Structure 1
Amino acid sequence: MNRCVIFDLDGTLVDTPRGIVTTFAEVFAQLDLPEVDSSSIRATIGLPLPAAFAKVLGTAQDEPVVATCVELYQSTFRGIVLPVAAQLVFPGVLDGLRSLREDGFLLAVATSKFVRNAEALLVAAGLREEFSAVVGADQVTKPKPDPESGFVVLQRLDVSPANAVMVGDTTHDVLMAHGAGMSSIGVTYGVHSVDQLLGAGPTWLVDSFAGVVATVGECS
């Protein structure tokens, strides 16, 4: 019987939200677009890039400016965040992932990043080898909060929803877990507030990665 733990990436494993905001701002500056306040950008973290840029710009996802922003974002992010990714890993993550693997859990990532960018970030952060599967937003027709990403992971790892738990810092992660029939752990050190997470109804709520590992151990 396989058991797995599925993780969000930004704000859950790696402290990238500040870098994401900086990258957005740099993209807008390079394209001579109006400045956007950081709180508006931060509120889109957890959405796929086209949806995030469309929301911040107040336009449709199929507008050409959105595609331009997404393309420029990817190269800009690699230059800003990847060189310091190893320093952005949240405390306890690497040891915690290894502990879970030693206890027999398969580990996966389900992210709103495009898979190429997710893979690059995981490699730069020194975490890629811990995961048996990485699913990005461009590998599904409906990204989080739709449950499709979760279903893809479960199929790849041959795990039933009852033997899986989703870990994330946003309501998108919790809602994905609900839709896929999995339990969920909301972490409070990322993007969404405690009240936002509680509104989505996570199975558990923790304030550290050590708390994630302990909760998985208790519920397994």
Structure 2
Amino acid sequence: MPESPYSCILWDVDGTIADASAGILPRLRQVFASYGLPDPDAAELSLWIGPPMYESFQLRAGMDEQRAHEAVSRYRELAAADGYAASVDIYPGVPEVLRAVQDAGIAQSTASTKPENQVRAILEHHGLIDAFAAISGARPGIEGRSDGKSFVVGQALERLRAAGVDTSRPLLIGDRHHDVEGGAEHGIPVVFVDWGFGEPAEADAAAFRASDPVALRSLLLG
């Protein structure tokens, strides 16, 4: 097998590793109802998956900053009650890519704007936590701009370096324009995966595009 051109791999979670869509809409409906708002449009569910919830409650539900903070807290309380790994599926073929990268000796980290405790719960539930040298997600209780994609990417690189990992040639994998933009802020090329929730145009600035996990594996390992 040819040597990979990458020294470490960063992974988005929602829409890239895991599909949490089955549990998201019911929780959104409950939060919307608590504010007397009509149900969110199920056809727009994909727009809620990937970006920080704090941002989405402002952009998609028309909330001000204070109400958006409250709404995220209510949403997270519901998620905690359900169990963070409930209704979360792992995309077929992705575990095999994670294991192949691990077997090739390339360190991996998450770089997710999902709260870090939820990321850990999902990966532990599905037996994938050991594939990662570091875990990077949003900090508990922080819903603002500082924990956007750029922040969690930078945090992932810091934690990998602290673990003794070579971060000189990183690659980020994701499914939304937030991943592409967050990677660009750190000068990191991005693979845009087609099985997630992003629209095709969101891949325009990505360095690579993978139609399925087999294609992704070829990009990562040759």
TM-score by length of 1: 0.84
> Deviation of residue 30 (structure 1)?
4.6
Whole-angstrom distance in 1 between the partners of 2:85 and 2:76: 11
Contact map agreement 2:23 2:86 (CA 8 A) in 1: no
Map residues 33-48 of structure 1 onto 2, 5 A cutoff.
33-48=37-52
Task: Provide the aligned length of Structure 1 versus Structure 2.
Answer: 210
Paired residue type of 2:195: Y
For structure 1, the residue ranges without an aligned partner over 5 or more in a row are: none
Cα 1:68–1:148 shift into 2, 3 Å:
closer
Between Structure 1 and Structure 2, which shows a larger proportion of helix residues? 1
Whole-angstrom distance in 2 between the partners of 1:48 and 1:31: 20
2:217 partner SS: helix
Aligned to 2:54: 50
Paired residue type of 1:115: E
1:185 partner SS: strand
- Residue 216 (1) aligns with residue 220 (2): yes
Moved more, 125-134 or 21-30: 21-30
Contact map agreement 2:84 2:121 (CA 8 A) in 1: no
Contact map agreement 1:161 1:180 (CA 8 A) in 2: no
User: What is the percent sequence identity of the aligned residues?
Assistant: 23
TM-score by length of 2: 0.84
1:108 partner SS: strand
> Deviation of residue 12 (structure 1)?
0.3
> Deviation of residue 31 (structure 1)?
4.8
Match of 1:143 among 114, 126, 147: 147
Whole-angstrom distance in 1 between the partners of 2:22 and 2:203: 20
> Deviation of residue 80 (structure 1)?
6.9
Paired residue type of 2:151: E
> Deviation of residue 83 (structure 1)?
3.0
Q: Deviations over 1:67-110 (max 9, x none)?
A: 3322221232341762343xx10011212111101101111111
Aligned to 2:23: 19
Paired residue type of 1:68: E
Aligned to 1:94: 95
What RMSD in Å do the two structures reach over aligned CA positions?
2.3
1:43 partner SS: helix
